[in-house]
């Protein structure tokens, strides 16, 4: 079967460290190899050398493998870059691959192509359905996660403005009796300009990497002496990771940034959570609660010697009662070296229970795996980084198309071509914010203009 487009994705679970693989499949592989390696690779031969970006700068060094179709995993030409595992490096490689015309693979798409090209048998096909199912669910979750906060509201605002503009332009085309002269009345031109500016502002922000540096917020909660600091050190110390304290005063929220296998994680200490009359301290407690409410995960740490309970509500009722998302709790029983429990990790219960000794570094690996899993970086390639790369890619394509539309309008007065560009741009941004159909558009037009003779 002949697939038209070339797909690419990071093939290794991000953040696992060591080696990071970016895989490409499709007709562009040969061309890409020449441009990214600087030479034509021999089939099925491991080439060690630098990977170049489009400006000729070295992104990374590693091994490249070229498998011409049909003797490859997918049955198409396949190119693999095996470099250092850092998510930023892999992302930069991916970004450059998209610029030369590859597109991000859909979840499970490599395996799908392999199956459709008779590279996998029927029994393996069952697994592919499961893989696509699981990974697209996770992709959806990660996309949602990536879309929280300021980025999301900016993108939505942008899409809404684009919609407004399309309502105006399409109404002018489909309902000429309304006599909207969108080509020369300046309204469209001005709105287009605003949209372009916003789009480049969002892209600039993204390019500076602040979006990529966002990580998951984990709250470390527990009564005094539950062992929060030891756990923090155990988690952080293992990777010689950067531990910084950005908090201003001890009364403020204490936020620590650590990396687990290169993936960013913000740990919020809830040391100051107690009833108090002190006004300043009260403010600090409120701020801590705001962080807790936003948290992606809450680790409730308990000294295993003090209780045998596995019910968070029994352990700390007034804390659990106030949680907006109790399903985000993980119970961590610390100090098992003293309580005599064994190192276990039970993720099937609600909440999941992990038994550790932070001091003796027992079970900490389990906890790290658990955190990586809830971050969405386990087992599948569709991690949070890919989700963001998808968004950035969509923004870039939309930006290019809107710029072309602006030209059509300003230089050539070609309203119907502008309309086509706006439609394309909205379709692309719809990959982030959800589809917007022709019928949705007509509905908005009928809502805003009194149409019909």
* Residues flagged as binding site for Mg(2+): 229, 250
53, 88, 163, 175: which one binds other proteins (CB under 8 A) = 175
Q: Does 403 bind other proteins (CB under 8 A)?
A: no
Environment class of 9 (CB within 10 Å of its CB; exposed 0-12, middle 13-18, buried 19+)? buried
Evaluate whether 52 touches 58 at the Cβ level (below 8 Å): yes
Q: Does 101 bind other proteins (CB under 8 A)?
A: no
Q: Does 438 bind other proteins (CB under 8 A)?
A: yes
Q: Count the residues of the shown chain that bind other proteins, applying the rule CB under 8 A.
A: 48
Q: Does 128 bind other proteins (CB under 8 A)?
A: yes
How near is the Cβ of 22 to other proteins at its closest, in Å? 21
**What's the angle, vertex CA 82, arms to CA 79 and CA 83, rounded to 5?**
135
How near is the Cβ of 166 to other proteins at its closest, in Å? 9
Of the candidate spans 36-44, 114-122, 305-313, 316-324, the one that interacts with other proteins by CB under 8 A turns out to be 114-122
Q: Does 76 bind other proteins (CB under 8 A)?
A: no
Residue with tokens 């605002």: 157
DSSP for 335-386 reads -HHHH-----EE-SSSS-EEE-BTTTTBSHHHHHHHHHHHTT-SSSS--HHH
Tokens of 118: 């008779």
Q: Does 433 bind other proteins (CB under 8 A)?
A: no
Q: Does 400 bind other proteins (CB under 8 A)?
A: no
CA distance 344 to 367: 10
From residue 408 to residue 427, what is the string marking binding to other proteins with x (rule CB under 8 A)? ---xx-xxxx-xx--x----
Tokens of 153: 């509201």
Q: Which of 55, 23, 51 is nearest to 37 (CA)?
A: 51
Residue with tokens 């971050």: 375
Evaluate whether 332 touches 232 at the Cβ level (below 8 Å): no
100, 125, 243, 353: which one binds other proteins (CB under 8 A) = 125
CA distance 42 to 360: 50
Of the candidate spans 166-174, 187-195, 198-206, 296-304, the one that interacts with other proteins by CB under 8 A turns out to be 166-174
CA distance 280 to 429: 44
Element (H, E) at 417: helix 415-433
Binding residues for (6S)-5-formyl-5,6,7,8-tetrahydrofolate: 23, 80, 119, 453
Residues 179-208 that bind other proteins (CB under 8 A): 183
CA distance 325 to 294: 9
Angle of helix 150-174 relative to helix 187-207, nearest 10 degrees, comes to 150
How near is the Cβ of 23 to other proteins at its closest, in Å? 17
Of the candidate spans 84-92, 120-128, 297-305, 312-320, the one that interacts with other proteins by CB under 8 A turns out to be 120-128
115, 151, 168, 406: which one binds other proteins (CB under 8 A) = 115
Residues contributing to the site for other proteins (CB under 8 A): 1, 4-5, 106-109, 112, 115-116, 122, 125-126, 128-130, 132-133, 136, 170, 172-177, 183, 411-412, 414-417, 419-420, 423, 435, 437-439, 441-443, 446, 450-453
């Amino acid at each position: 079967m002949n697939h038209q487009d070339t797909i690419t994705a990071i093939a290794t679970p991000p953040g696992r460290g060591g080696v990071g693989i970016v895989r490409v499949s499709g007709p562009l592989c040969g061309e890409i190899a020449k441009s990214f390696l600087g030479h034509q690779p021999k089939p099925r031969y491991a080439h060690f050398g630098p990977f170049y970006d489009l400006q000729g700068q070295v992104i990374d060094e590693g091994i490249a493998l070229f498998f011409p179709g049909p003797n490859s995993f997918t049955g198409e030409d396949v190119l693999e870059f095996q470099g250092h595992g850092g998510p930023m490096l892999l992302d930069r490689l991916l970004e450059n691959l998209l610029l030369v015309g590859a597109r991000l693979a859909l979840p499970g798409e490599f395996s799908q192509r392999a199956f459709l090209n008779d590279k996998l048998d029927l029994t393996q096909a069952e697994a592919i359905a499961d893989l696509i199912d699981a990974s697209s669910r996770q992709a959806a979750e990660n996309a949602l996660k990536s879309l929280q906060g300021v980025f999301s509201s900016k993108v939505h605002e942008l899409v809404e403005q684009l919609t407004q503009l399309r309502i105006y332009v399409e109404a002018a085309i489909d309902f000429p009796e309304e006599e909207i002269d969108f080509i020369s009345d300046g309204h469209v031109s001005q709105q287009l300009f605003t949209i372009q500016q916003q789009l480049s502002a969002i892209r600039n922000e993204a390019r500076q990497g602040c979006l990529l540096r966002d990580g998951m917020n984990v709250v470390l909660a527990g009564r005094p002496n539950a062992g929060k600091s030891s756990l923090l050190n155990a988690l952080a110390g293992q990777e010689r990771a950067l531990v910084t304290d950005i908090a201003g005063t001890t009364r403020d929220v204490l936020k620590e940034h650590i990396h687990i296998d290169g993936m960013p994680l913000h740990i919020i200490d809830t040391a100051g959570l107690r009833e108090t009359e002190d006004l300043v301290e009260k403010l600090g407690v409120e701020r801590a609660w705001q962080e807790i409410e936003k948290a992606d995960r809450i680790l409730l740490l308990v000294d295993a010697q003090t209780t045998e309970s596995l019910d968070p509500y029994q352990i700390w009722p007034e804390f659990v009662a106030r949680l907006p998302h109790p399903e985000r709790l993980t119970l961590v029983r610390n100090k098992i070296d003293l309580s005599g429990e064994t190192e276990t990790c039970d993720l099937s219960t609600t909440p999941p229970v992990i038994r550790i000794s932070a001091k003796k570094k027992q079970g900490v690996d389990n906890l790290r795996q658990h955190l990586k899993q809830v971050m969405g970086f386990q087992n599948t390639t569709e991690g949070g980084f890919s989700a963001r790369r998808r968004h950035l890619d969509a923004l870039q394509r939309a930006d290019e198309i809107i710029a072309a539309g602006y030209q059509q309008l300003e230089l050539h007065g070609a309203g119907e071509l502008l309309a086509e560009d706006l439609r394309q741009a909205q379709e692309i941004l719809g990959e982030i914010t959800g589809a917007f159909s022709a019928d949705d558009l007509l509905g908005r037009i009928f809502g805003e203009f009194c149409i019909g003779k």
